[in-house]
Chain A
Amino acid sequence: MTTIAKTPAATRTPARRSRGRWFAQVGWRHVVGVLAVAFSLFPILFVISAAFNPLGTLSSTELLPTGASLENFTNLFDRTAFGHWFLNSLLLAGVASFASIFLSSLAAYAFSRMRFAGRRVGLLALLLIQMFPQFLAIVAIFLIFTTLTDLYPSIGFNTPWGLFLLYMGGALGANTWLMKGFFDTLPKELDESATMDGASHVQVFFRIMLPLVAPILAVTGLLAFIGSINEFIIANVFLTEPEAKTLAVGMYGLVAGERNNNFGMFAAGTLLTAIPTVLVFQLLQRYIVSGLTSGAVKG
């Protein structure tokens, strides 16, 4: 990355001075960015080189790719139900993240803009409930869903919908707090003036608040999406049939037994798993722009 090339290639002192000022104001930021990107990327580079490594074992993999073969990818699709896992994960993470953002933004709006009995208790209770190691409740969850599966097979074990319901249980977690903090930073004059103009609370929420909190919706949406993609422990209990598994459960099965030999396939699966998340991030990127709220209120 050479940003110097952008400045005119003159060596006169004013130019150099302005270049020095440019570095003090902007240039150092690029240095930080490049260093951070390097720190982020080197393990990923290792995964890429493992995925394209024709030998497909851990011990033969270097940081930089040594060969280019798609063998690991073809093996992944031929020998496992990777395609099913992929679709299951996409469906589950997509629906669950959308629904959980909606639920938590509703709650955050109430917590931020209204005063009611039990508000403070409710906020603290939300935090407390989140702190119980949910994974130790897995025995209870398993027993509850055994009953549910008997009653409603369509939302029981080995279906994405049972997991979806369970993930919704955690929807009001930290996201509500994050959104409430964001709602709190929006000027109250906005909804007050809208109410004065005769808008109902529903209209205030959907037409005024939601567009303004789009950045935080994008951020929490991304968090929820990644959270569902990565969730392993509960999904591992829920999904036992090969074609019902999500990526996390299925891929863990790849390396649970023969780790070294499947390493290439595992790395290939890791790369493919990352694609939807990166795409979601790209989609939401245009909402994560600054200045949405500043300027909404003049005065």
Chain B
Amino acid sequence: MSAPLSGPGSAPQAPGREPVRRGLPRTSRTARQDAPITATGLVVKVVLLGLVAGIAIWAAFPLIEAEHWIGLGILVATTAGLFYLYLSRRHIPAKYLVPGTLFLIAFQVFPVLYTASTAFTNFGDGHRGSKDDAIVAVQTSSVKQVPGSTEYNLTIATKGDPATGALVFLLSDPKTKDVFAGDAEGLRKLDAADVELSSLSGKITAADGYTLLNIGQASSRSDAVTALIVPTDEGAIRSNGLTRAYEGKAVRAYDAGCDCVKDSETGKTWTADEGSGSFVAADGERLAQGWKVDVGLKNFGAVLTDPNISGPFFGTLAWNFAFAIGSTGLTFLLGMAIALALHSPRMRGTNFYRVLLILPYAMPSFAMLLIWRDMFNTDFGLLNNLFGLNVDWFGGSWSARIAVLLVQLWLGYPYMFLVATGALQAIPRELTEATSVDGASPWQSFRAVTLPLLLVALSPLLIASFAFNFNNVNAILFTTEGGPFAPDNPRNGATDLLITYTYRLAFGAQGAEFGLAATVSIFIFAIVATVSAISFRRTRKQEEVYS
């Protein structure tokens, strides 16, 4: 508690100040604090702290096994801190704040910081791991079949979902009848008892712990099958079709002496460039397999100066603001208006209305976004059919923008209706009753009493809603996908938000560029944070936050 003690005769207490401190000597306070320690309270405390200790012990074993000493240190410190906090009589606010804050730090703050740190690297496709990883990748991807190498019978399997799970090669050697499982990590010998071999083809037809893909499933993922290379001691194993695999030798090898990669067939060399994290030949050719290096502020420079990235940035920024303000403002106005209309003691059946009104919010939003997309369909969409229109909604820039905002309004106004209803119920009836006794019109009483009180309760929420909509990926991705696109600019469409635009730049056709994506997301964060900070300053007068 760091509440400054108010001087004698100070005017009314600041709200929320602990009243107990008022002029009472400390001893009597603790004495009175000791009194209400009930058996129940004590039991709950013991049980909860016991639970914390139990979880900590359960979590410690794998950490010790894996020799994650830093993780173990954090775990021990956290547990000790929790015990100290809840066994001591002080730090009362912390007792209430710590549970949520722990989760916040672990699963929100840390990932965000981690992401931000990648903005200073070239992390992305082709620059994912260390230099050693890149060398292994260069060597294994240059594998070619040499005469006399082993040929395996191949069965494609996975440990997860046949359509999306990571692929595994189940291999059987036709000569020795040995069976192996291989993935990008390497080759593991399997116990012959755990697999069934077909007597006809020699292929593996069942294996414990693996889901086998049938030919249809395998051929639909043939790109992934081709791309999977299993590194071995002598080279690597690659698939040859969907039922055969061969072990081949690497044509390219890394030479530590010259810090370069040599191709044994053509004799060409690529020298390592630590600045860009890739192997570069004398003629400027880069190998696709690079490694992750720090690039400093290069990504930030690219966002500001690279015409491909910064060119459409400002047009998109303007629409992004319009979208966020429009979504938040329209939903709030409509939600509040309806909440006010239904907030009357003489009104019967409000519950009935509420249940039906809230339905758009109860519907799964991602599904409804996809359904709205179909309702806007030009040829057999519901809206054109109902109103006899023939509007190509997602074809024109403005109609697409209006459509997106309409969908947002439908999805979002029940939420605003809910929170406005909640806040209205917190406003004492006596206030509005008093204004009407004083002869104020309903509009005057709304302007003078209800609206200010509503805004005090809801302004943080409106700002949060603005921030959410500013980065509302689903709203765009599931409806217009950023379109319509101008014919001369396929990179960025009329309804693109910064985040969907970034998403396309970073995870789109050119492959993942996490470093660049992280940089743009820092820009986005800076913009939203600035806007919110300004709005907070403006609502500061109404807020009691700063008292």
Residues of A bordering B, CB below 8 Å? 25-26, 28-30, 32-33, 36-37, 39-41, 43-44, 46-47, 50, 58-59, 62-63, 103-104, 106-107, 109-117, 119-120, 122-124, 126-137, 139-141, 143-144, 150-152, 158, 165-166, 168-174, 176-178, 181-182, 184-185, 188, 192, 195-196, 198-203, 205, 215-216, 219, 222-223, 226, 229-230, 232-233, 240-242, 247-248, 251-253, 255, 263, 266-267, 269-270, 273-274, 277-278, 281-282, 285, 288-294
Q: For A199, give its contact among B36, B348, B350, B370 (CB under 8 Å).
A: B36
Q: How far is the CA of A143 from the CA of B115 in the complex (A)?
A: 11
B368 touching A43, Cβ below 8 Å:
yes
Residues of B within 8 A of A132 (CB): 112, 115, 521, 525
| Residue pair B357, A278 in contact (C-beta under 8 Å) | no
- Name B's interface SS: helix
Q: Are A107 and B96 in contact (CB under 8 A)?
A: yes
**Would you call B366 and A277 a contact (CB within 8 A)?**
no
* B368 contacts across to A, CB distance below 8 A: 43, 47, 270
Q: Which residue of chain A is the closest to B337 with respect to CB atoms?
A: A32
Q: How far is the CA of A43 from the CA of B363 in the complex (A)?
A: 10
**Given the known A-B contacts A44-B363, A112-B16, A277-B362, are A285 and B351 also in contact in the complex, defined by CB atoms under 8 Å?**
yes
The answer on a CB contact under 8 Å between B521 and A169 is no
Nearest neighbor of A277 in chain B, beta-carbon distance: B362
B83 at the interface (CB under 8 A from A): no
- Decide: A222 and B418 in contact? CB cutoff 8 A: yes
Q: Which of A112, A136, A216 contacts B517 (CB 8 A)?
A: A136
Q: Report which of A40, A219, A289, A293 forms a contact with B356, defined as CB distance below 8 A.
A: A40
**Cβ of B164: which chain A residues have Cβ within 8 Å of it?**
240
Q: A130-B467, A131-B525 are in contact. Are A166 and B338 (CB under 8 A)?
A: no
| Bound-complex Cα distance A15 to B59 (A) | 75
What residues of chain B have their CB less than 8 Å away from a CB belonging to chain A?
1-3, 14-20, 32-33, 35-37, 41, 59, 62-63, 66, 68, 71, 92-94, 96-97, 99-101, 103-104, 106-112, 114-115, 118, 160-161, 163-165, 337-338, 341-351, 353-368, 370-372, 374-375, 377, 380, 382, 385-386, 410, 414-415, 418-419, 421-430, 453, 456-458, 460-461, 463-465, 467, 470-471, 473-474, 499, 502, 514, 517-518, 521, 524-525, 528-529, 532, 536, 544-546
> What B residues does A165 contact at CB under 8 A?
103, 106-107
Nearest opposing residue in chain A for B377, CB measure: A58
Given contacts A127-B463, A202-B41, A270-B364, contact A139 B457 (CB under 8 A): no
A58 touches B380 (CB 8 A): yes
Given contacts A137-B111, A219-B422, A241-B161, contact A129 B366 (CB under 8 A): no
Query: Which residue of the partner chain A has the closest CB to B114?
Result: A140
B363 touches A41 (CB 8 A): no
Check if B341 sits within 8 Å of A181, measured CB to CB. no
State whether A106 and B529 are in contact (beta carbons under 8 Å apart), knowing that A41-B359, A47-B371, A226-B361 are contacts in the complex. Answer: no
**Cross-chain contact B499 with A136 (CB below 8 angstroms):** yes
Q: Chain A residues near B106: list those with CB within 8 A.
A: 165, 169
Residue of A at shortest CB range from B386?
A63
**Chain B residues in 8 Å Cβ range of A44:** 359-360, 363
Question: What is the CA–CA distance of A266 and B502 in the complex, to the nearest angstrom?
Answer: 30
Given contacts A229-B364, A267-B371, A103 and B100 within 8 Å (CB-CB): yes
Q: Is the CB of B353 within 8 A of A36?
A: yes
Cβ–Cβ < 8 Å partners of B471 in chain A: 133, 135
Question: CB distance B100 to A172 under 8 Å?
Answer: yes
A282 CA to B354 CA, complexed, in Å: 10
Whether A152 pairs with B107 at a CB distance below 8 angstroms is no
Chain A residues positioned under 8 Å from B423 (CB to CB): 181-182
Tell me, rounded to whole Å, the shortest Cβ–Cβ distance linking A248 to chain B. Answer: 6
B residues near A131, Cβ cutoff 8 Å: 467, 470, 525, 528-529, 532
Q: Are A136 and B518 touching (Cβ within 8 A)?
A: yes
Contacts of B358 in A (CB 8 A): 40, 278, 281
